[in-house]
Structure 1
Amino acid sequence: MTRLSVNINKIATLRNARGGNMPDVIQSAIDIEAFGAQGITVHPRPDERHIRYEDVRALSKVVKTEFNIEGNPNLKFIDLVLETKPAQVTLVPDAVDAITSNAGWNTKKHQDYLKDIIKTFKDAGIRTSIFVDPDIEMLKYAKTTNTDRVELYTEAYAKNFKNNKATAIKDYVQVSLLANELDIDLNAGHDLNLENIAYFAQEIPNLKEVSIGHALICEALYQGLENVIQSYLKKLQ
C-alpha cells in the first residue's frame, strides 16, 4: 500500500492569517496521525509565511509516524534538517518567492551539488528524496546523486487527468519502470486529490508515498479531516 503523508502547510497558512495559534499546527499533526495518516510533511520557506522553523522543531518532538521536511537546501534549511533529524528530507528547487513548487530539479546540471548535499543528510542517517519531473534523463542523472528516492512532480498528470488519464499517466509509468531498474524508490506529490489519486496509485504500483496538502485540506472543509484521510487511505489500497 502506498503511504499517505499529509502536508500541513495550509493549516499553518490559516493560523498565520489571523495570528495567535488557531488552528494549532502541532495538535493538527497529532490528530492527523490519529486519523490514520502515515506521515507528516512540512515545507518551511525562508520567509516562514506558513510553516515556521519553530514549528518544525516542535513537530520533530511529537510526530510518531514518518516526518518529512521538504525545501530548497539553503544553509538555514540544511542546519534545520540536521538539527531535527526527520525520517526523510525532500529537496525541492523552488525559488524564494515561489507561491508553490513548480518544477523538478535539473539533475544533470546540479548533480554534483545534489550529491554533496545528499551525502551530508545520508551521513546523518536521514533518507533523501529529490523532486523531479517525469523525465527519463532526469531520473538517470538522479541516480548519480545517490539519492534514496525521487518525488515525481505530478502537476502535469493532475492537469491532464480529466482530458485523457491514459495520456496523462504515460510519462510517469515509463519513469516508474526505469526507477525499478535503477533501484530508486518513488514518491509523488503536487495537485493529487481524491479524484485522481486512485488511478495514479493503480498505474504506478511501486509508489512508496504520496504527499498531499492543499487538496486534502480543501476537501476537508466539506467532508471533515478524519473522513478525508480515511478516503485517501481507501483509494491508496
Structure 2
Amino acid sequence: MTVLSVNLNKIAVLRNSRGGHEPDIATAANTCIDAGCGGLTVHPRPDMRHVRPDDVRTLAGLLRGRVEYNIEGNPFAPARGAYPGLIELAREVRPTQVTLVPDGDGQLTSDHGFDLTTDLPKLTPIVAAFREMGCRVSVFVDAGGQGFEEAVAIGIQRIELYTGPYAEAFAKGDARSELASFAETAQRAQRAGLAVNAGHDLSQANLGTFKSAIPGLAEVSIGHALISEALYQGMANTVRAYLGILA
C-alpha cells in the first residue's frame, strides 16, 4: 500500500503567524499517527518560515519506532542562524528518509526538481553522506526527467515526482497528458531500480486518479491540501479519508 506521509509545515505556519506554541506540532503529529498515517514530513528552511530546527528535533523523539520520518530540504543551503544545514540536522535526528529539493528563499514553495543529467556530480558526495547516516535518499524531480540509472549508481534510492503540473491540469479539467508523462517517468525510474514517491498539491480530489496511473507508488507526501481540508473536516477524519483513497 502507498504510504501517506503528512507534511506538517502548515501547522508551523499557523503557529508562527501568532507566536507562542499553538497549534502544537507535536499534538498534530500524534493526531495523524493515531489516525493511521505511515509517515510524517517536515521541510525546514534556512529562513525558518515554518518548521524550525527545534521542531525537527522534537518530532524525531516523538516518531522514532512509530512511523517513518521524512525531512525535505536543499542540501546546498548553508547554515544560517539556528538552522545548522540539512546534513547536520539529519546527522542529529537520523530520519528514515531525506528528500533533496532544489529550493531557495525566493520560492514561495518548491516548484521544480533536480535535473539529474547535470546535477548528479554535485549530489554524489551529499548522497554518500546521507547514506552513511543510514538515511534513505530521495530526490525531487520533474516528470520527464532523465538520468535514473546514473542516480542509482551514486546511491539514490527513490525519486519524488513534483506533481504540481498534474494538479494544475486536473483543476483545469483535463490531466490526461500530464498523467501519461508522470506514468512514463515513474515506469522508467522503477525499471532503473528506484522507488517512486510523489508530492505537491495532491488532494482528496486528485489523488485517486494519480495513484491509479502510477502502479507501485511508494509514498505520497501531502501537506497544504490536507491541512486545509482538516480545517473543515478535522485532522483525524482527513487523514483517514486519504488512507481510504490510497487503499
TM-score (norm. length: structure 1)? 0.96
Tell me whether 159-168 or 10-19 shows the greater mean CA deviation: 159-168
Runs of 4+ residues deviating >6 angstroms: none
The aligned amino acid for 1:122 is R
Contact (CA 8 Å) 1:151, 1:186: kept in 2 or not?
Answer: yes
**Residue in 1 that maps onto 2:71:** 69
Once the two structures are TM-superposed, the CA of residue 124 in structure 1 deviates from its matched residue by 1.1
Structure 1, gaps ≥5 residues long: none
User: Structure 1 CA distance, aligned partners of 2:9 and 2:31?
Assistant: 15
Of 202, 210, 215, the match for 2:220: 210
What's 1:107 paired with?
A: 116
Q: CA deviation at 1:144?
A: 4.3
The alpha-carbon deviation at position 140 of structure 1 amounts to 4.8
Which amino acid letter does the alignment assign opposite residue 118 of structure 1? V
> Are residues 1:96 and 2:105 paired?
yes
Answer whether contact 1:139 1:175 (CA < 8 A) is retained.
Answer: no
TM alignment of 1:179-218, pairs within 5 A: 179-218=189-228
1:219 corresponds to 2:229 = yes
Q: Give the match for residue 57 of structure 1.
A: 57
Asked whether the 8 Å contact 2:115–2:145 carries over to 1, the reply is: no
Could you list the per-position Cα deviations for residues 39-88 of structure 1 after superposition, in whole angstroms to 9, with x for gaps in the alignment?
Answer: 00000000111100010011100012000000001351110011110000
Q: Does 1:86 align with 2:88?
A: no
2:38 — aligned with what? 38
Cα 1:55/1:136, change in 2 over 3 Å: closer
What letter matches 2:154 in structure 1? Answer: T
TM-score of the superposition, structure 2-length normalised? Answer: 0.93
* Residue number in structure 2 paired with 1:137: 146
| Distance in 1 separating the partners of 2:151 and 2:28 | 34
3-state SS of the aligned residue for 1:61? helix
The whole-number CA distance in structure 1 between the counterparts of 2:158 and 2:149 is 12
Shift of residue 138, structure 1, vs aligned partner: 4.7
2:234 corresponds to which letter in structure 1?
A: G
More off after superposition, 68-77 vs 33-42: 68-77
Is the contact between residue 137 and residue 157 of structure 2 (CA under 8 Å) also seen in structure 1?
yes
Name the aligned partner's letter for residue 71 of structure 2. I
User: Using the alignment, how far apart are the partners of 1:184 and 1:197 within structure 2?
Assistant: 21
* Distance of 1:221 and 1:179 partners within structure 2: 36
| Unpaired runs of at least 5, structure 2 | 79-84
Total equivalences in the alignment: 237
